[in-house]
Amino acid sequence: MDTHIQLFEVPMRKYSEQFRHDAVKAYINGPKGLRRVAKDFNMDCSLLRRWVAAYRIHGEESFQATVRVRHSPQFKLSVVQRMWKDKLSCRQVAALFGLKNSSQVGSWEQGYYSSGIESLAPQTPGRTFAMPKQP
């Protein structure tokens, strides 16, 4: 069963594949800590932490450009349930499932708590109404 709907490829990345590879390898193979390597590469520490986590799970494949996808409600629910079952953090489960944005998982969890599985369905944009102008 396919749980993803492909939308489009991401044309540009802020950091090149080679840059991400070099930063992760510098941390894994070197004596420096995560914060020091992030500073050496002039980047955010949490971003490097996410790249390292993804690399440890997915290997070299984690450096390749991604395709943006719209996830099905069933996929979102399986991610949230895996997080609960294995007592993982949002960052850990995002790395496990190859999700680029760990805060996305927190949003899915919060939506599920408040409204159930219906909140995990793709949102269709509605009409926006302009504010009436003052006379």
24 neighbors 54 (Cβ within 8 angstroms): no
According to the per-residue pLDDT averaged within each range, which of 14-18, 37-41, 92-96 is highest? 37-41
Query: pLDDT by residue (tens digit) across 23-78?
Result: 999 999 989 999 999 999 999 998 899 889 888 887 887 777 666 678 888 999 99
- Give the pLDDT confidence score for residue 14 in this predicted structure: 78
Would 33 be classed as within a structural domain?
Answer: yes
- Average pLDDT on 79-83 reads 93
**Which one, of 133, 131, 115, lies nearest residue 123 by Cα?**
115
CATH of the domain at 53: 1.10.10
Assess whether 56 and 98 both reside in one domain: no
Pull the structure tokens for residue 91: 């960052």
83 domain residue, yes or no: yes
The model's pTM: 0.54
Q: Are residues 109 and 91 in the same domain?
A: yes
Span between the terminal Cα atoms of the chain, in Å:
56
Q: Would you list the DSSP string of 8-36?
A: EE----SS-HHHHHHHHHHHHHSSS-HHH
Q: Which of 85, 54, 65 is nearest to 13 (CA)?
A: 65
| DSSP letter, residue 129 | -
Residues 81 and 105 reside in one and the same domain: yes
Structural domain of residue 57, as residue ranges? 10-68
Q: Are residues 61 and 43 in the same domain?
A: yes
Please say whether the beta carbons of 4 and 72 come within 8 A. Answer: yes
Structure confidence by residue, pLDDT tens digits, 100-132:
777 888 889 998 888 888 788 876 655 556 666
Indicate whether 62 and 20 sit together in one domain: yes
Assess whether 51 and 86 both reside in one domain: no
Say how many domains are in the chain: 2
